[in-house]
C-alpha cells in the first residue's frame, strides 16, 4: 500500500496505490473499491487499474478531520486494506466542487457563487504539447472559468490530426482493444484537468460526441463498451473537484444511440460519481430552424442543469418554466468567419448573446472560429484567441460578480430583460434596442445610483445625481447599452 498523501486538503485528491496482478486483463477482471468513513458516514468509491500492476483509488474528502478507509476486492492482494488520512482546510482558491444552488445558478460547495463564463476547445488535449501549453497560456490570460473539452479525439472539418494516445489501448492490427484502457492517455487528461484547476477553470468533460463518424468508431461502440469506458472514467476522474460531466456534445447527431442509451449512461454517471458533479447533455441544432432543436428531457432527475445549443438566447425563460434548472447556453454560435453558419458571428453579436443570456438569469459559453492558415482554430484546437469578445465577456463577468448573490430575473414592469433584487439592485440590458430615455419606477423611500454601461466600449458612466421614486433616465442613442441601478440608502 502506498498513500500518495497522508494529509489532504478538503476537496483535494487522496490517492491510494496498490500493487496487484498484472497478468490477464486486470481492467476487466480485477474490480476494486473502497469505503471511506468519516464518523458514522460512509462513501464508497471505485478504484481502477493503472497499468504495470498498479491499482489506484482516488477520493475527494469533503469534511476536515480524520477519514478511515478499507478496500474490498475479489482479488486477495487488493482486498481488506485499511488506513486513514487527515483532511486539512482548503488552500486559497479551493472552494470545492460546483453544485446547483437554485434554479438560476451554481455555487461551489463552500457557498461561493459560481457564474460559469466558459469557452470551448473540444480537442485541445489531443494536440501536440506546444499547442496545449499555448492553450493554457491563453486561458490564463483571459477570464474564462469553464472549458468544454472532449475525452475522445475529434475528426471533423478543420481538425483531422491523429492524437498520440487514445482512451483505449491499441491492438496490433491498429484497431482498439475495448477491454483495455491506455493509462498514458488518462495521465495526460488528468494533468490537463489539474492545469485547469490551477487556473480556476472547471473542466466540462464531454464523454461522447459524434465527431468521429466511425473514423475511430468511438461514436458507435457496444453498450457494454460504453458502460465500462464510463465506469473507468468515473473511477479515475470523479475525485477532481473541477470536473463536470457532459454526457455528449450534439447527442442527437449520434444516430447509433437511442434515448434509452442516454438514460442508462446518465444513471451510470449518477451512481458511480460519489460526489455529484454537475451532469448535463448538449443538443445539436440543424440550420436556422427552431423546429430542428431536440432537447434531451432535462426534467429527468439525473440532469442537474441545461447545457443547451441554441442561437436564440431569449428563450431561457421558457426553458426555465419547463425544467426549473440552471441554464447554460453552451453553444450560441462562435465568433469567427468560417463558412458554416455556427462559426461566423461577429464579436458584437457574441457579446450581445452573453448579455442577453445573463439578463435572463442564464449563462452563455464562448467559442472562436476564425479561419487560420494552419487551421489552428480555438474552438477545436485551442492555441490563441484573435477575437474581440473575450475581453467584453470578462467585463460582463466582473459586473456580474459584483451583483448581489441572490439576484433573479425581474419580470413584468421593466419591459426589458432585467436581473436584480427588488428595491436594491437592477441590471438591465437593451441589446439592439436603443430607447432615448426610460421611466423607472423606483421606491420613494430609498435612493439609488444609476450607471450607463457601454457593453462594447466597456465603460461605466455614473450619473452625477441619485434617483428616488419614479425617475426618468436619459440614455445614449446606441446599440448594446446596459443600465445598473443600485440602492445607496
Binding site for its own copies (CB under 8 A): 287-291, 312, 314-315, 317-318, 321, 333, 337-341, 343-346, 349, 371, 411-412, 415-417, 430, 432-439, 477, 479
Q: Are strands 98-100 and 54-59 parallel, antiparallel or unpaired?
A: unpaired
Of residues 332 and 393, the one with the C-beta less far from its own copies: 332
CB of 466 to its own copies, least distance (A): 20
CB of 144 to its own copies, least distance (A): 22
β-sheet bridge partners, residue 448: 467, 487
Distance CA 122, CA 206 (A): 8
CB of 135 to its own copies, least distance (A): 23
CB of 367 to its own copies, least distance (A): 14
213 neighbors 156 (Cβ within 8 angstroms): no
Distance CA 429, CA 56 (A): 50
CB of 40 to its own copies, least distance (A): 47
CB of 443 to its own copies, least distance (A): 20
Of residues 481 and 486, the one with the C-beta less far from its own copies: 481
Which string of b and e fits 244-274 if b means at least 16 CB within 10 Å?
A: bbbbbbbbbbbeebeeebbeebbebbbebbb
Of residues 269 and 393, the one with the C-beta less far from its own copies: 393
CA distance readout (Å), 401 to 143, 231, 394, 395: 12, 36, 10, 10
Of residues 29 and 439, the one with the C-beta less far from its own copies: 439
Which residue in this structure is represented by grid cell 482548503?
A: 90
Distance CA 387, CA 142 (A): 12
**In this structure, how many other beta carbons lie within 10 angstroms of the beta carbon of residue 421?**
16
**DSSP classification of residue 156:** B
Of residues 225 and 416, the one with the C-beta less far from its own copies: 416
82 neighbors 2 (Cβ within 8 angstroms): no
Distance CA 39, CA 78 (A): 24
Helix/strand/coil for 3? strand
CB of 472 to its own copies, least distance (A): 9
Of residues 217 and 435, the one with the C-beta less far from its own copies: 435
CB of 437 to its own copies, least distance (A): 6
Of residues 274 and 317, the one with the C-beta less far from its own copies: 317
HSE-up of 439 (CA within 13 Å, CB side)? 2
Which helix (H) or strand (E) segment holds residue 207: the answer is: strand 202-208
Of residues 24 and 339, the one with the C-beta less far from its own copies: 339
Of residues 215 and 438, the one with the C-beta less far from its own copies: 438
Q: Are strands 327-331 and 306-309 parallel, antiparallel or unpaired?
A: parallel
Q: Nearest to residue 85, comparing CAs of 15, 30, 28, 184?
A: 15
Of residues 413 and 488, the one with the C-beta less far from its own copies: 413
CB of 416 to its own copies, least distance (A): 6
CB of 259 to its own copies, least distance (A): 23
Helix/strand/coil for 203? strand
Of residues 300 and 438, the one with the C-beta less far from its own copies: 438
Q: Which three cell numbers stand for residue 241?
A: 473537484
452 neighbors 476 (Cβ within 8 angstroms): yes
**DSSP classification of residue 162:** P
CB of 214 to its own copies, least distance (A): 22
Distance CA 25, CA 29 (A): 6
CB of 386 to its own copies, least distance (A): 13
Q: Which three cell numbers stand for residue 288?
A: 436556422
Which residue in this structure is represented by grid cell 504539447?
A: 129
Helix/strand/coil for 266? helix
Which residue in this structure is represented by grid cell 439576484?
A: 407
Of residues 107 and 345, the one with the C-beta less far from its own copies: 345
Amino acid at each position: 500500500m502506498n498513500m500518495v498523501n497522508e494529509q489532504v486538503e478538503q476537496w483535494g485528491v487522496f490517492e491510494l496505490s496498490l500493487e496487484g496482478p498484472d497478468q490477464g486483463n486486470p481492467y476487466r477482471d480485477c474490480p476494486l473499491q473502497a469505503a471511506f468513513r468519516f464518523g458514522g458516514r460512509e462513501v464508497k468509491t471505485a478504484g481502477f487499474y493503472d497499468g504495470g500492476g498498479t491499482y489506484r483509488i482516488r477520493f475527494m474528502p469533503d469534511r476536515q478531520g480524520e477519514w478511515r478507509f478499507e478496500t474490498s476486492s475479489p482479488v486477495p492482494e487488493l482486498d481488506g486494506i485499511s488506513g486513514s488520512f487527515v483532511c486539512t482546510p482548503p488552500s486559497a482558491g479551493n472552494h470545492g466542487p460546483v453544485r446547483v444552488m437554485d434554479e438560476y445558478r451554481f455555487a461551489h460547495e463552500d457557498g461561493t457563487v459560481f457564474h460559469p463564463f466558459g469557452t470551448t476547445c473540444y480537442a485541445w488535449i489531443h494536440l501536440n504539447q506546444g499547442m496545449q501549453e499555448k492553450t493554457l497560456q491563453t486561458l490564463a490570460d483571459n477570464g474564462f472559468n469553464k472549458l468544454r473539452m472532449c475525452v475522445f479525439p475529434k475528426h471533423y472539418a478543420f481538425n483531422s490530426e491523429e492524437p498520440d494516445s487514445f482512451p483505449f489501448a491499441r491492438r496490433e492490427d491498429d484497431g482498439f482493444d475495448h477491454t483495455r484502457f491506455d493509462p498514458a492517455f488518462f495521465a495526460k487528461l488528468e494533468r490537463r484537468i489539474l492545469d485547469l484547476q490551477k487556473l480556476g477553470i472547471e473542466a466540462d468533460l464531454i464523454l461522447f460526441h459524434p465527431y468521429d463518424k466511425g473514423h475511430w468508431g468511438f461514436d458507435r461502440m457496444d453498450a457494454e463498451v460504453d458502460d465500462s469506458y464510463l465506469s473507468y472514467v468515473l473511477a479515475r476522474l470523479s475525485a477532481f473537484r473541477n470536473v463536470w460531466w457532459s454526457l455528449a456534445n450534439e447527442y442527437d447527431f449520434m444516430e447509433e444511440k437511442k434515448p434509452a442509451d442516454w438514460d442508462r449512461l446518465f444513471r451510470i454517471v449518477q451512481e458511480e460519481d460519489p460526489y455529484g458533479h454537475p451532469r448535463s447533455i448538449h443538443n445539436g441544432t440543424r440550420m436556422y430552424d427552431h423546429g430542428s432543436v431536440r432537447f434531451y428531457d432535462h426534467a429527468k432527475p439525473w440532469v442537474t442543469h441545461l447545457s443547451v445549443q441554441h442561437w436564440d438566447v431569449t428563450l431561457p425563460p421558457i426553458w426555465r418554466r419547463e425544467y426549473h434548472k440552471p441554464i447554460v447556453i453552451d453553444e450560441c454560435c462562435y465568433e469567427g468567419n468560417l463558412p458554416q453558419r455556427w462559426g461566423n458571428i461577429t464579436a458584437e453579436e457574441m457579446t450581445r448573446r452573453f448579455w442577453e443570456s445573463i439578463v435572463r438569469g442564464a449563462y452563455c459559453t464562448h467559442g472562436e472560429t476564425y479561419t487560420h492558415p494552419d487551421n489552428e482554430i480555438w474552438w477545436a484546437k485551442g492555441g490563441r484567441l484573435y477575437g474581440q469578445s473575450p475581453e467584453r465577456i470578462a467585463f460582463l463577468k466582473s459586473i456580474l460578480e459584483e451583483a448581489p448573490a441572490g439576484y433573479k430575473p425581474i419580470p413584468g414592469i421593466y419591459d426589458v430583460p432585467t436581473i436584480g433584487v427588488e428595491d436594491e439592485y437592477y441590471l438591465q440590458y437593451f441589446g439592439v434596442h436603443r430607447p432615448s430615455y426610460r421611466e423607472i419606477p423606483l421606491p420613494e423611500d430609498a435612493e439609488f445610483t444609476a450607471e450607463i454601461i457601454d457593453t462594447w466600449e466597456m465603460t461605466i458612466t455614473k450619473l452625477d445625481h441619485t434617483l428616488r421614486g419614479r425617475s426618468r433616465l436619459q440614455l445614449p442613442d446606441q446599440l448594446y447599452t446596459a443600465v445598473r441601478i443600485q440602492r445607496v440608502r
